[in-house]
Amino acid sequence: MGVRFLTDGWVADMKRCMNDEPNKFARWRRDMVENQIIARGITDPRVIDAMTHVPRHLFVSEAMADSAYGDFPLPIGEGQTISQPFIIAEMTQRLELCGSERVLEIGTGSGYQAAILSRMVYKVYTIERNNTLFLQTRKLFDKLKCHNIVTRYSDGTQGWKQESPFDAIIVTAGGNQIPTPLVDQLAIGGRLIMPVGGLHSQELLKVEKTETGIKTTNLGGCRFVKLIGQHGWSE
């Protein structure tokens, strides 16, 4: 099964889903991409395409649907949030994806970030430690027929050793350090994006793994919920 089959099937199913949505959501999504994504410097056409087509309002509660395309994070229950659209676009662009990658996501949350990635890469592996969110997102991925997303209920700070190495890793919660298992499971030439710092603010770091070592780049300040697990914060 190749990348083209997975991507084309995803697009066809998503188009059917979008055909049934109210026109306002399509309009708000276009406005979001134009005013929040492109206007702030996101230039990767594949990131722009994914965010133009993935229906963000399906990844929040019905009560929050009319706010889904706003320029802010939203609560998704269980003390977690769906990130601001721009930060999702920025983190995704910084992974420098070309389409053939196997990507690991730590912190499935609402599932929106994984859905964005699923339009862009060969396969997405995503780990969630909260069972309620895990079950909700797995059901949603099935509904949307995101067949190239593989889910796991586990401690994301330990990674997914059995499926490693990964071409890219994205961590959607803030930790006080980058978990060693994630660096170990990154392929040579791979990129890892993660917020690192204290409980209330972090710096978004990009790690590149080379034959000669690790290169770390600070991409600027951010604020995420805390990364909980063996190699993260305690409860």
Q: Give the residue numbers marked as catalytic.
A: 83
Tokens of 91: 């983190």
- Residue 202: enclosing H or E segment and its boundaries? strand 202-210
Sign of the dihedral defined by the CA atoms of residues 39, 44, 49, 50, in that order: negative
Alpha carbon distances (Å) from 1 to 7, 60, 115, 145, 217:
11, 31, 19, 15, 35
Q: What DSSP designation does 37 have?
A: I
The three-state secondary structure class of 213 is strand
Query: How many whole angstroms from its chain centre is CA 213?
Result: 26
